[in-house]
Structure 1
């Protein structure tokens, strides 16, 4: 019985993971931007997103996902302005927020974070407030 319970729990855990939405970032700026991704296990990666329509996406998986955008590759410098999108998938809900650290690298330029399902609030000002939406939503952050 224990084996069956474990197997069923594993299947449900896998199913909930595969149903989560995606995180997409589109760069409409005239210059490349740098994306630094950190996940709950503290793994991180950095890449550039090409100017004038470059795009990145991945599935939102679990809690503690951070997508940090900068205009230079020195993300960890205290002098680098950062736009940070936080996203966590928990119990059928994605919680998300948009914040800045050390200034806003897109100050004076448009920023929009939106989900594609009814009830997903769009964020156009990085104020750090947390929003919630179904984990079936795909989210898109557009800069410039």
Structure 2
């Protein structure tokens, strides 16, 4: 029994807390997202005021996760403008970034990605203001993508 307790204590001390990837919809219309690594997760509809949360995790095949966001129901499969909030969990750190493909679905709307322990990515007009904006934070905190109302 003593060995079991010591082994459990050693295992518990080796596990580190992991934060979440969160997507907040503070805009006025529903958008859709898919969490993509080596496979595509189910479509999530995020209504105004809604959120999506997943535990930060590592994909052994791709190395990272891309949360792909469109404003159309089937946008991932139709070539609709897609916002990509990507992250890569690397032990005690998480690296995160924003990019787009096929256009800018949040053009004219502010979008951000922020972490309490890392830098903020801010696209005031919903499009890349220029340059690489890769940020890094402690993996025990949350990384939050927020889409704001146009204006």
Q: Normalising by the residue count of structure 2, what TM-score does the alignment of the two structures yield?
A: 0.77
3-state secondary structure, aligned to 1:114: strand
Runs of at least 5 residues in structure 2 that lack an aligned partner in the other structure: 1-6
Q: Of the candidates 19, 33, 46, which is equivalent to residue 35 of structure 1?
A: 33
RMSD between aligned alpha carbons?
2.3
Of structures 1 and 2, the larger Rg is shown by: 2
3-state secondary structure, aligned to 1:44: coil
3-state secondary structure, aligned to 2:87: strand
Q: Of the candidates 141, 144, 147, which is equivalent to residue 143 of structure 1?
A: 147
Q: How many residues align?
A: 130
Runs of at least 5 residues in structure 1 that lack an aligned partner in the other structure: 1-6
Distance in 1 (CA, whole Å) between partners of 2:34 and 2:66 is 8
Quickly say closer, same or farther: Cα 1:128–1:85, change in 2 above 3 A: farther
3-state secondary structure, aligned to 2:15: helix
For the pair 1:116 / 2:120, whether they are aligned, the reply is no
Q: Normalising by the residue count of structure 1, what TM-score does the alignment of the two structures yield?
A: 0.80
For the pair 1:48 / 2:45, whether they are aligned, the reply is yes
